[in-house]
Structure 1
C-alpha cells in the first residue's frame, strides 16, 4: 500500500458555530478548504483540503471539530424467510 501525499486532498466534515456560519465558511476557504456541502442550520459543512492543511482548519475561530470523511461499509441485510 502506498503512502498518501500530504498535499493530496482528503474529505473532511466540520462542525462550526451556526451563529457565525458565514464568517467561518469564508475563513475555512481562506485556510484551503474546497467546500462541497453546507448545512448552516446544523452548523456543519463538508469539503476537501490537502492533508497538510487540516491543522489550519482546526485553528479557525468558530470551528468546533474537524473529522476525516470516511466510508463505512455495512454487511448486506439478510432477506427475511417466508413463513409458508
Structure 2
C-alpha cells in the first residue's frame, strides 16, 4: 500500500474547544476541512482534508488535538486466538 500524496484527502479526528465549537468548526471548514461527523457536546468532529493542510488545521485557535484517522481491522469472531 502506498502513502497518500500531499494533496490526497485523508481522514482526521479533531478535539476542539466545546464552548466555541461552532466557531472553530467554521474556521476548520474555511481552512479546507470537509466535516463528516460532529459531536458538539463532546467537542469532537471528524472529516477529510488534503494532507498538506493538516498543519494549518492544527494551528487554528480552539483546536486541542488532531489525529489521523487510522482504521483498525479485527479478525472475525470465529478466528483462532492470536
TM-score relative to the length of structure 1: 0.87
Render the CA deviation track for 1:23-65: whole Å, top value 9, x for unaligned: 0001001111001110000000000000000000100000000
CA-atom RMSD in angstroms: 1.4
Q: Which has the larger radius of gyration?
A: 1
| Match in the other structure for 1:39 | 39
**Equivalents in 1 of 2:2, 2:69: separation in Å?**
19
Q: How many aligned residue pairs are there?
A: 79
Q: CA deviation at 1:4?
A: 1.9
Deviating 4+ runs (over 6 angstroms) = none
Stretches of structure 2 that go unaligned for 5 or more consecutive residues are: none
TM-score relative to the length of structure 2: 0.89
Stretches of structure 1 that go unaligned for 5 or more consecutive residues are: 80-84
